Structure 1
């Protein structure tokens, strides 16, 4: 028996040694370590990445991604939307009146499709009229609001999480946005200071999606009505900007927004951090899903534990949070049958920076 246990320990140590050599001294092992590090960098345990690739490599990695994301937002988008570019399906000869009516009737405002891939599952939500989307914000000062609550309070039929926010120790109250928040053509929030531009994801007054780096003056000139700050833009002028999975910034829950040439808005929502359900996706996965669905422009939105999809008073996905309803957030993209009737007030009006404490509940 002693000989058996001695042999077992020896084999275990040998396998561990071989595994360590492979992980640290081979190209495939190094790729895996960087994938693990990228995945950790997107979580509240970012500092753990240094134990996999080292402190300097972690800091260099973050800086390199930031530079890359900035560059991905520079090319000017020139896409145009043509709402009539996808004609209604013509009824086949000999079909009855009911079938003809069904084939030619107007598409629903919101369509939901379940998707899955290697290690992930989620949804694509298509909003066929982009002018029906508004940016929602919290109702009360001092804390964010869950997307489900925003939707129910404002009468929205669907919604997803929006832009980024200050999140001290990953326990923030969701009330302090990062960058800008615009709703209904009004600038609700702006912390740009001396910065001349920011990466935005939004819509102009005709329903055309705007994504990339813009100044406030440029956004005004473009007629942008709804916008939040987030990055990176992953598709511009019909081409993907992320070259492969290794460039996809780790595996995590994801939310992204895109637009087809016919004007329809696509929201991709992918669950993550839940073995047995969905581990998550990288940005290359999200980009490819968008391209396969016809997106000519697309951009990343806040993901991770913020990722949530709401439709008809229910959370459809499984957020990676203790609550099945997701986190408290400062902004959301909400879909309305009648957006002109939505009452969305500027919750940050009159507040000074010192009045906003992102860590105080």
Structure 2
């Protein structure tokens, strides 16, 4: 009985080996098929993106988004190098035009503003983005903050804590060679407490300003230094574009929205309340970002009669009560900034000194390693 069963066991074992080989061959065959399907889809998608007329808007959306990042050069692989140059020049020209219309808005402060909290925070969401709207009910409580050390910018959370502010958002842009800038060389002008802290205009006569006058009225648009002085501008930075003027949006649609990115913007309602919109981005699964049309629509929905873009990208940050409310996109944490709009309960007590006094803007090394 045992001798007759042994060959049968041996035969069974020999039959299993070919079965395992067939399973292995079947697995790799299926894997190869999946690879071929993915390759086909990739080629088809690439062909559609680069060749199909219907993909033009998608190509420009991708290119515009890359233009707002440190990988701007990659946009040439999407739309070509010549078109990239044309696109950037076209935006600069368009942004300049958006700042030229004369702003005629006046503010009529809410008589019960004292019964409202100075700062209100509201979360906002939309297609692909998450962020916040900070409402400052008394615009006269805002001051432009600057770093406290020569040669280096300062993080917003540090600036808020050091000055005793109750809230703040990032302000104007700065020279950022190879995206390794130290945050100490602002672009354009910096005005704080009615004093010109920094003039980096060079030979330019005018610049796009975002700021406030003595009464807390928001000023945004293209102005000369002389005009700013006559208007009594107290707090201001250079940045663009202005996206709302005299109650109307200047960006027609999402295609003109300059790509998808983290955003910061400032606006004002007719009652004087300031609106700061902060949108997170570059974080799939949480928030990809918004275009300027999205930001404009958020502002209009909240009653803005004037609004302008501020520095965005990895500089975008919102601090309230010494806590960072949003999620900055920089993998290194908060960036070192040259300016920030800060909110104070008692702004007359704010100690903000001019750290650029006596310095030649043309000789400031924007990429010099920070001392802290």
Same fold by TM-score greater than 0.5: yes
Match of 1:60 in 2: 86
2:197 to 158, 174, 188: 188
Residue 228, structure 1, aligned to residue 254, structure 2: no
Change in Cα spacing, 1:191 to 1:105, as seen in structure 2 (3 Å) is: closer
Task: Give 3-state SS (helix, strand or coil) of 1:11's partner.
Answer: helix
1:16 shift after superposition: 2.9
The aligned counterpart of 1:77 is: 103
Structure 2 regions of 5+ residues with no counterpart? 1-25
* Cross-structure match for 1:93: none
* Structure 1 residue corresponding to 2:156, chosen from 147, 156, 165: 147
Structure possessing the higher radius of gyration over alpha carbons: 2
Let me know the Cα RMSD of the aligned residues. 1.5
Structure 2 counterpart of 1:357: 365
1:25 correspondence with 2:34:
no
Q: 2 CA distance for matches of 1:116 and 1:110? A: 20
Inter-CA distance 337–31: structure 2 relative to 1 (3 Å threshold): same
CA drift at 1:30? 2.0
Structure 2 residue matching 1:78: 3-state secondary structure: coil
What stretches of structure 1 of length at least 5 have no aligned partner?
A: 89-103
Under a length normalisation based on structure 2, what TM-score does the superposition of the two structures give?
Answer: 0.89
2: CA distance between counterparts of 1:146 and 1:3?
55
Q: Which moved more, 1:4-13 or 1:293-302?
A: 4-13
The aligned residue for residue 37 of structure 2 is: 11
TM-score by length of 1: 0.92
Q: 2 CA distance for matches of 1:164 and 1:3?
A: 55
Q: Is 1:261 paired with 2:270?
A: yes
Q: Which residue of 2 aligns with 1:318?
A: 327
Q: Quick one: distance in 2 between partners of 1:139 and 1:328?
A: 12
C-alpha contact (below 8 Å) 2:50/2:78 kept by paired residues: no
SS at 2:221 equivalent:
strand
- Aligned partners of 2:32, 2:186: CA distance in 1, in Å? 58
Partner Cα separation in structure 2 for residue 80 and residue 11 of structure 1: 61
Instruction: Say if 2:185 and 2:361, in contact at 8 Å, map to a contact too.
Output: no
Higher helix share: 2
Offset, 1:276: 1.2
Which of 326, 329, 338 lines up with 2:337 in the alignment? 329
Corresponding position: 1:123 with 2:132: yes
Alignment CA distance shift 1:71-1:6 (3 Å): same
Q: Please state how far the C-alpha of 1:344 moved relative to its aligned partner.
A: 0.3
* Consecutive aligned runs of 4 or more in structure 1 exceeding 3 Å deviation: 1-14
Is the counterpart of residue 207 in structure 1 residue 222 in structure 2?
A: no
Question: How far has the Cα of 1:117 moved from its partner?
Answer: 0.6
Question: What is the CA–CA distance in structure 1 between the aligned matches of 2:33 and 2:242, rounded to whole Å?
Answer: 54
CA distance in 2, matches of 1:80, 1:331: 26
Deviation digits for residues 143-173 of structure 1, max 9, x if unmatched?
0001111111111100000001000001100
Question: 1:25 Cα deviation (Å)?
Answer: 2.2
Q: How many residues align?
A: 343
Question: How far is 1:352 from its partner?
Answer: 1.7
Query: Aligned pair in 2 of structure 1 residues 305, 9: CA closer, same or farther (>3 Å)?
Result: closer
Distance 1:3 1:107, change over 3 A: closer
1:49-84: CA deviation from partner (whole Å, max 9, x where unpaired): 111111111111101000000000000100000013
